[in-house]
Copies of this chain bind each other. A is one copy, B any other.
Amino acid sequence: MQSPGYPRGTEGWDAFQWDRREDCEVRQILDRIADKWSLLVIALLDGAPMRFTELQRAVDGISQRMLTVTLRNLERDGLVHREVYAVIPPRVEYSLTSVGRGLHATVQSLVTWTEENTEYIVRARNEYDRREDGAAAR
């Protein structure tokens, strides 16, 4: 099952770098938590627990299906806890687990970085696109 020819300590491997083989768990997990919706949901669940419909309203643009899928994956990874109350109408509350809260901290630092550098990036994009347009015209 392990991809051959790339064991730890071999050439191509750097002790200060991380395992980035395609089939390694770190990359699988990273792909999962760093997707379009998970970051949003994790950010929202920090603080207070939320109900399904509440989340759907809060995450602008998410469909019911994707909210379900995202929550199931986060629950499966032990990052979100799903609490079902046996009442009618049904009441389900989602909250971060303690590990989930730990993740939120680093996610928040990524968000903060993005906020702080938004202007720079937008400017860079505009300049790049202007250059490209100019090149295409020629």
Contact = CB atoms under 8 A, between A and B. Distances in A.
Interface of A: 3, 6, 12, 17-18, 20-22, 25-27, 29-31, 33-36, 39-40, 43-44, 57-61, 75-79, 99, 102-103, 106-107, 109-111, 113-115, 117-118, 120-125, 128-129
A125 B76 contact: yes
Contact of A110 (B22, B30, B57, B77): B30
B3 A60 contact: yes
B29 A114 contact: yes
Nearest to A109: B106
B76 A26 contact: no
Contacts of A113: 102-103, 106
